[in-house]
Structure 1
Amino acid sequence: MRRAVIAACMLLASPTTSAEEVIHVAYSERPPYMITQPDGTPGGLTGAPATAAFKHAGIPVQWHKVPTNRQLMMVKDHASPSCAIGWFNTPERRQYGKFTKPIYRDRSWVVLTNAAFAARNIGSLAELARQHDARVLVKDNYSYGELDAFMQHWQPVTAISTAPTLKMVQSVSKGMVDLMFVSDDEGHYIIEHHAGQQAPNLRLLQFKDMPRGMERYIMCGKSVPDEVIARLNKAITFK
């Protein structure tokens, strides 16, 4: 009888004493959004609030620093619960992912270009749309918010890259392409901290008709329980 009572107590206790499943969280080095800290966690504009949310929610995490396309593969893979940091919430991504509350909002979009293209003195998106020979560099599987529709209407010469942002910046500086769209935060950070010898040939163009910056989220796969999303939302402090 005593053994039966002990066994029953163990069964009742097991849901609270069993180890919680680890969430695999992916990110890539992308200052100022994500900068790996000495302890291996991501810091930066989106990395820091995401790290804090998982910590304050008490959710066990395994961090993975991987390229963006690999992040999407992890989120789409239902075999293990995975999330990725700093993604836009789009209708396409909602088909395979769940989103938390926003963790950050970009200030605005800007055009990162080189001195030769900047010499055209373009002052708005409306004027840019008339430059049909412009060569635009975009990141593979990225969304540029409202600029996606703008580029579909504009239909410039488009080059798609899987390279890190700084490699893409080199292509702009060397004149291999004319421009790329970046957030105001990222553009100024690149010019001030990472452009190096390329800086004198780079320009940031700010247009009055540029759409507002987008909110960024933690995107998780369908295998991540809704209860985990709810706990993260409760821990997220961005308003």
Structure 2
Amino acid sequence: MNDVYIIAPLRTAIGNFMGSLSEIHPAKLAAIVIREVLKKTGLEPEQVNEVILGNVLGAGMGQNLARQAAVAAGIPVDRTAFTVNMVCGSGLRSVVLAAQAVRAGDADIMVAGGTENMSLAPYILPGARTGYRMGNAEIVDYRVRDRLWDIFNEYHMGITAENLAEKYGISRDDQDAFAAQSQNRAEAAIAAGKFAAEIVAYPVPQRKGDPKLFVTDEYVRPGTTAEQLHKLKP
């Protein structure tokens, strides 16, 4: 069995829902990271055996996002690529699959990760295929239905958090304190430049002027306190 090494763990900064990256196709986000991985490692695109990317909200994004990203990154078209959907575990599962391929001797160099843009998730008209008649019709939020909705119990993922809090006796105060600590630590890490080495700048087009480089995680709220969080509705 071959040893496996992760040699260039890179990513874009994470954008908010409907934030700075809201109009960027997920394959483009992945492609710019793959190109930087090749540049940083000194590898030629031809040396990559396969690309595996996790993605959940692929409706309307075109066929096989991993393939789109690989080709856009300059990897030859005769290299294979496939997309994994294991919901929240999709990206990590892609890395595991790549590691297994190298360990088994089926590949030498793999590119693996995940890419997603929840802001581009479409709304769906389930009855449009067969045609609507009289009366109102339902529009389904694909972002919720295929990513945040438990298909077995028919409830939102947020309810799972409520269930776990009740099961393990986690109080609202404990949750608020933990969340505030997480925000504060992320804020401090950004200020100290802890994430800089792993983030690939993405040039976001602007309505006027040159593109703006997106380099900082957008979801971090500076100065967050447990008291502020306690005022939020469950």
What TM-score bracket applies, with the shorter chain setting the length? under 0.3
Calculate the TM-score normalised by the size of structure 2: 0.25
Which TM-score applies when normalising by structure 1?
0.24
Task: Specify which structure has the higher proportion of strand.
Answer: 1
Name which one, 1 or 2, has greater alpha-carbon Rg: 1
